Amino acid sequence: MKLFFGKGKKVEEKIYEYLDYVIQTKDLFYKVIMHYLEGKLKDNFFEESVYSVHFKESKADDLRREIECELYGKALLPEFREDVLNLLEVLDKLPNRCESVLFMISLEGIEVPNEMKEEFKSLIKVNVRSIVQTVDLVKALLSNPENVQKYVLIIDKTESESDKIERKMISELFKKIHIEKADKILLKDLILEIGSISDFAEKISDNVNMINIKTRV
């Protein structure tokens, strides 16, 4: 049974709603990027789906602003208000990165060489996993703070795994793949952009950890 009600309760419900949007954006992102890695860059599904991800991302943005308004309306004590605002700010980077990866592919017309497709899939899977772990982490903060530390460690591990894959991919890209240098740079940027999802997941986990420590008096 929850111990509270009022404005705080309303904000908490909206944060759960926001987390649902993050998961929906992640699901759509995964579906679209896997479709792309099957070599179907130019078809209608890809282009339409990119805009669907964009639509989900802006819905999440709207909800975040609503939560911020509630918070500025004194829904929390000032010392907690600041922390939750910072958390929302950095949490928003997750759907935002999903959108920007797809826009990069769509606008720059990046094509992944066949030799790298499996590694791209691995990188995507690891980073998508970090989104799910982050959502679980935030849910733990809101419902079961004792589990926060467990998720912080898991996310840290996922981020290291992503870093390792990124370094290996970039090294192979410049050593073994025979394409134009400009295309290599575009691919390198794409790898780093995908990898930034788990980087942000780690930043969020730091924030959540700090909030959790602050709830110990």
The site for other proteins (CB under 8 A) is made up of 2-6, 8-9, 11-12, 74, 76-80, 83-84, 141-143, 145-146, 211-212, 214-217
CA-wise closest residue to 215 among 127, 140, 154: 140
Pick the closer one to other proteins by CB: 2 or 175: 2
Whole-Å CA distances, 108 to 28, 86, 216 = 20, 32, 48
What token pair was written down for 126?
């690891």
CA separation for the pair 91, 83 (Å, rounded): 12
| CB 145, min distance to other proteins, A | 5
| CB 208, min distance to other proteins, A | 10
Pick the closer one to other proteins by CB: 101 or 211: 211
Pick the closer one to other proteins by CB: 22 or 87: 87
Pick the closer one to other proteins by CB: 11 or 165: 11
| CB 201, min distance to other proteins, A | 20
**What is the 3-state secondary structure of 154-192?**
HHHHHHHHHHHHHHHHHHHHHHCCCCCHHHHHHHHHHHH
| CB 205, min distance to other proteins, A | 15
